[in-house]
Amino acid sequence: QLQLVESGGGLVQPGGSLRLSCAASGGTLAHYGIGWFRQAPGKEREEVSCVNSDGYSTEYAKSVKGRFTISRDNTRGTVFLQMNSLKPEDAGIYYCAAKWDTWPDFCAVVKGAEPYNYWGQGTQVTVSS
């Protein structure tokens, strides 16, 4: 059973940066498409970014495009979310999720939280001065 663990969250001032990591136990992430999601209090879970299994196809929500970068190192079995120019509205619990990648363009096909099979417990990101 694949288990995901997020790390790298914390408190940062507006304009600051954080790098989140998503690692797996019980298997390798190399064949999975990965989505990063976030959820702020009182709000629905929002998809932030996606990367396919080989890392060559990515997508971003409009709200983070140009500020966040998703990447992966399959030799280390880790997916990263580099978050720059953070804003207070970026705060929330960030989750990574995995789904076996069987599509030519995973991120164009797999949308939203429902399709993903495996989820981490989340890491808190707080953006405040």
Averaged over 77-92, what is the pLDDT?
A: 97
Tell me the percentage of the chain whose pLDDT exceeds 70.
100
pLDDT at 106: 93
- What six digits make up the tokens of 5? 């663990």
Averaged over 50-59, what is the pLDDT?
A: 95
Which long-range CB contacts under 8 A does 8-12 form with residues at least 24 apart? 8/123, 9/94, 9/123, 9/124, 9/125, 9/126, 10/124, 10/125, 10/126, 11/126, 11/127, 11/128, 12/86, 12/125, 12/126, 12/127
Averaged over 54-71, what is the pLDDT?
A: 96
Q: How far is CA 39 from CA 14, 88, 96, 104, in A?
A: 18, 13, 12, 29
Maximal C-alpha separation, the chain: 43
The helix or strand, by DSSP H or E, that contains position 47, with its residue range, turns out to be: strand 46-51
Averaged over 77-85, what is the pLDDT?
A: 97
Question: How many other C-beta atoms are found inside a 10 Å radius of the C-beta of residue 114?
Answer: 6
pLDDT at 95: 98
Tens of pLDDT along 85-126? 999 999 999 999 999 998 889 999 999 999 999 999 999 999
pLDDT at 104: 81
Nearest partner of 35 among 125, 128, 119, judged by Cα = 119
